[in-house]
C-alpha cells in the first residue's frame, strides 16, 4: 500500500501543518511516511504545498509527480495540480475560495467550504483542519481518532485551540461524508 496526497494553497493557510498532522498520524499508526515541503524561493502569501507519502513499506522516491489525491485550498493550486492527480483519486476543493469545479471525470471531486466552515465554528484559521478531516474521511488513510489524539500535544502551548481544531476536523469529516454520499 502506498498513497500520496498533495496539500496546496498559499502561505499562511496551514498547508504544511495540515500535511504534518497527517504524517504524524501515519507514524503513530506504525506506517512509513515522508513529508516533503515545497521550499523554493517563496514569499509570504506565495504558493505553498507539501506532499505526504504514506506506505506500509519503506518509501523509495519521496518526490511524486502524480499523487493519488489533491487537497486544493486556493484557485491557482487547483489549476496547477488538477492535471497531475492519478486516475481514480480524490480532489478536495476548498469551495470557500475556489469558484471553479474539477474538469476531469476520472477523479472524484469533493467540494468543502473549508474557510466558511472554520469561520462558522469560530476558528478562523481552522480551514486547513476542516480540509484535513475531509481528506481522512474520503480516504481512510489514517484513523480520525489518531489525528484527534495528536491535538492536545500539538497545541500544548495554546490549549484554547485544541477543541476548536478538533471541531473543525470533525466537521470536515461530516461534510466529506455528505459529499461522498451525493457522488457515490
Partner 1 sequence: MAKQLMKGNEAIGEAAIRAGATRYFAYPITPQTEVAEYLARRLPEVGGVFVQAESELGASNMIFGAASSGKRVFTSSSSPGISLMSEALSYITCAELPCVFINVCRAGPGLGGILPSQGDYFQATHASGHGDFHLIVLAPSTVQEAVEHMMTAFDLADRYRNPVMIFADGLIGQMMEPVDFEAVKSGEAVDHSSWATTGAKGRKPHIIKTLYLNPNDNEAHNVHLAEKYAGIRANEQRSELYGGLGSPELILTAFGTAARVCKTAIDVLNEQGVDIALFRPITIYPFPADALDKLSRKQHVKRLLSVEMNNGQMVEDVKLFTGNRKPIDFFGRQGGIVPSPEEVIERVRALLDGKKKPAKERPAEAK
CB 59 within 8 A of CB 34: yes
Contact 123, 166 (CB under 8 A): no
* Closest distance of CB 128 from partner 1, Å: 17
Does 83 participate in binding partner 1 (rule CB under 8 A)?
no
**Count, residues near partner 1 per rule CB under 8 A:** 19
- Window 26-65: contact mask with partner 1 (x via CB under 8 A): -x----xxxxxx-xxx-----------------xxxxx-x
For residues 177 and 141, give the distance between their C-alpha atoms in angstroms, rounded to a whole number.
Answer: 15
Return the number of the residue (30 or 99) whose C-beta is nearest partner 1. 30
Interacting positions 93-132 with partner 1 (CB under 8 A): none
Cα–chain center distance at 59: 20
Three-state DSSP state, 182 = helix
Among the listed ranges 24-32, 71-79, 153-161, 168-176, the one in contact with partner 1 (CB under 8 A) is 24-32
Select 63 or 100, whichever has its Cβ closest to partner 1: 63
Burial zone of 32 (CB within 10 Å; 0-12 exposed, 13-18 middle, 19+ buried): middle
Q: How many CB atoms lie within 10 A of CB 60?
A: 10
Residue 156 Cβ vs partner 1, minimum distance, rounded to whole Å: 15
* Binding of partner 1 by 160 (CB under 8 A): no
Q: What share of the chain is helix, strand, coil (3-state, %, to 5)?
A: 45, 20, 35
In the set 5, 6, 7, 20, which binds partner 1 (CB under 8 A)? 20
Q: Which residues bind partner 1 (CB under 8 A)?
A: 20, 23-24, 27, 32-37, 39-41, 59-63, 65
Amino acid at each position: 500500500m502506498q498513497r500520496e496526497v498533495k496539500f496546496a494553497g498559499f502561505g499562511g493557510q496551514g498547508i504544511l501543518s495540515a500535511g504534518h498532522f497527517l504524517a504524524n498520524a501515519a507514524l503513530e499508526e506504525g506506517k512509513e511516511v515522508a513529508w516533503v515541503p515545497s521550499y523554493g524561493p517563496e514569499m509570504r502569501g506565495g504558493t505553498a504545498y507539501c506532499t505526504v507519502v504514506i506506505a506500509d513499506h519503506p518509501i523509495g522516491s519521496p518526490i511524486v509527480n502524480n499523487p493519488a489525491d489533491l487537497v486544493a485550498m486556493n484557485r491557482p493550486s487547483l489549476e496547477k495540480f488538477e492535471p497531475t492527480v492519478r486516475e481514480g483519486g480524490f480532489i478536495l476543493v476548498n469551495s470557500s475560495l475556489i469558484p471553479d469545479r474539477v474538469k476531469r471525470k476520472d477523479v472524484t471531486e469533493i467540494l468543502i467550504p473549508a474557510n466558511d466552515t472554520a469561520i462558522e465554528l469560530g476558528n478562523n484559521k481552522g480551514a486547513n483542519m476542516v480540509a484535513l478531516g475531509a481528506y481522512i474521511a474520503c480516504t481512510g488513510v489514517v484513523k480520525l481518532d489518531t489525528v484527534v489524539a495528536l491535538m492536545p500535544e500539538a497545541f500544548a502551548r495554546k490549549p484554547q485551540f485544541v477543541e476548536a481544531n478538533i471541531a473543525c476536523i470533525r466537521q470536515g469529516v461530516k461534510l466529506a461524508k455528505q459529499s461522498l454520499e451525493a457522488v457515490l
